[in-house]
Amino acid sequence: MSEPLITTSLVVLDKDLGATKAEVIASLAGLVADAGRADAAGLTASAMEREEKAATGLPGGFAIPHCRSEAVTTASLAFARLDPAVDFGAKDGPADLVFLIAAAADGDADHLVLLTRLARALVRKDFLASLRAASSPEEIVELVGEVVEPAPAPAQSPAPAATPAAATPDEADKPLVVAVTACPTGIAHTYMAADSLVNAAREKGIEVRVETQGSGAVEPLPTDVIAHAQAAIFATDVGVKDRERFAGLPVIESGVKRAISEPGTMLDEALAAAKNPHARRVAGTAGAAAETPGEGSTIGWGKRIQQALMTGVSYMIPFVAAGGLLIALGFLFGGYDIALAPDCSSLPAWASGVDTGTCATYGTTADLALAQGWSAGIVYLGAILYAIGSHAFGFLVPALSGYIAYALAGRPGIAPGFVGGAISVALGAGFIGGLVTGLIAGLVASWIGSFKTPRWLTGLMPVVIIPLLATLITGGLMYVLLGKPLAAITTGLTNGLNSMSGGSAVVLGVVLGLMMCFDLGGPVNKAAYLFATTGLSANTEASFHVMAAVMAAGMVPPLALALATTVRKKLFTAPEVENGRAAWLLGLSFISEGAIPFAAADPLRVIPSMMLGGAVTGGLCMALEVGSRAPHGGIFVLFAIQNVPGFVLSLVLGVVVAAAAVILAKSLGTRKSEPATVAVTG
């Protein structure tokens, strides 16, 4: 580590940085960028993405927006003491102390340790009081330095080795509670929650052992500690790793923020659950991740299923991106014909030695080129890329199904989920079938995992019994009951899509454009993207048109806001103008999230304007029969676009409409914007 985490240039005292947390975060990100440590737009987008998962305002009047981001080059802390305070979502009111914790995506462990030390210090009232009383940025830097990089203790003469003291009778009588804390980024709330629980337990005379599943190395709780615990607390915003270790323990579960704000209450609830035979418990097997229903449950099944669906989509997207782009590259080198059956009556020169009967055994031109090797020239390279991409794309539905089941039931759900997805593909039920099999596999595995089993059978449950029975039930239901109806629905949708032309296709494009711009990477946006990408496997012109409409519409928001901030700077704040510059590249790359800082700061004006532009682009793409064989990449995959002029025209018109709409909305609105020339300084 050569650079300090915080310097005086990263400190702002008693400043008005805006009325919303988005404006404050953007201003602090600007400070980090001015110091040459990050890209402001990227850092703002990453921090706001983290805010969308859970607000970072905490009781005591402080907030710690934070993220790990590719936009960060040097781990940094930016601090603001706000006047007036700004709402960051804490229950007790707005925050006047704000730390923006910016960690590099590939940051080293030392920096993460320092960041977590700061997060832990923020639960100390004396530290917060010192921050409020500081009179200069230099004093703030010194205070922070004392907690993140404390001076080493003076050396002492070595003392004779002592025999480890046995636990006193009082200590041995203390009730033992084990806990797991984990937040999405694992650099702040995870450790603050752990310290809050430990401090509250000390006051109550309770022994608590906490496993922090953060960004650093996870030190698992010893098995004997878990075995002797009376209850467990899961204070997490993400899934608990290897939660089957806690099987059978009464459990209290909540988001990580509750452990920070109400640690004593959670400990009381845990001890009460330990005495309640009807309390909710972690599944009574060594492998199931689900819990038996009972008193104390805080996350409903509706929420769990929603989270599971999003988990499945999130894990599926890498297969889509890798497979789809490789297929597109295959088309670039081998031509679109490599996906079709070879014309055996008129073979190309590189296959002139293949007789008609042998040619007929190859399913696609790519297969024929693979058999000919480098004698097929550049087509051989295209065939290799196409084959790799096709295999990756083939995991799309199984991965969707498998990871939905995983989110519901943990590792025992993976096998039945993947198998169910594969069966769905085999039966022609497509991604709809994958959604259904993922839910069935996850729920069945979770249900079986709740069985109380004899000790001799416990070890077999997660690796044999649950996967076996859940796979059997899921596969059986698909073959006997659900497969044909789901296949009929999928076929009907495919046929309906293929038959769309003229007005109906335009309406579909408009709807998809509205969805892509509604929540900018949220569930509605993901639903439209899932519909388009899974349809690519049908390899039809209609599916290519849908993909083009979705991708082009998703490019509109960042490009439109980049344009708007360029032509009417006075309507936007200085951080927004800065974000607008970066939004050009984000939009051209089909990264809709580049518009999030704008939408978060002024949703009523920005989102409807972007939806209007997205609808124009989506409808025009369908009307002009623009197609895309690539699922991602924006203008960088123009080689995979059919009717490139139509694609560009649709995109440009949508961007212009959205930019004009947001400029008009802001011009007519009453929102008082900061002059673009205002600089934020310490």
Q: Which residues are catalytic?
A: 66, 183
Q: Residue holding tokens 């990477």? A: 521
**In degrees rounded to 5, what are phi and psi of residue 577?**
-60, -40
Helix, strand and coil in the chain, % to nearest 5: 60, 10, 30
Q: Which helix (H) or strand (E) holds 33?
A: helix 21-34
Rounded to an integer, what distance in angstroms lies between the CA atom of residue 643 and that of residue 624? 8
Question: Which residues in 627-664 are b (16+ Cβ under 10 Å) and which e?
Answer: bbbbbbbbeebeebbbbeebbebbbeebbbbbbbbbbe
Angle of helix 189-204 relative to helix 109-121, nearest 10 degrees? Answer: 50
Torsion-angle region of residue 229: left (phi > 0), alpha (psi -120 to 50) or beta?
Answer: beta
Question: HEC states along 530-574?
Answer: HHHHHHHHHCCHHHHHHHHHHHHHHHHHHHHHHHHHHHCHHHCCH
Separation between Cα atoms, residue 465 and residue 385, nearest integer Å = 40
- For 593, which DSSP code? G
Q: Are 246 and 422 in contact (CB under 8 A)?
A: no
Confirm if 62 and 189 have CB atoms less than 8 A apart: no
Residue 321 tokens, joined: 């991106």
Phi-psi region of 343 (alpha: psi -120 to 50; beta: other; left: phi over 0): beta
Residue type, 85: A
Give the CA count within 13 Å in the CB-facing half-sphere of 326.
19
Neighbours of 299 (CB within 10 A): 13
Helices (H), 394-522: 396-409, 414-426, 430-449, 455-458, 466-477, 483-499, 503-518
Q: Phi-psi region for residue 393, left (φ > 0), alpha (ψ -120 to 50) or beta?
A: alpha
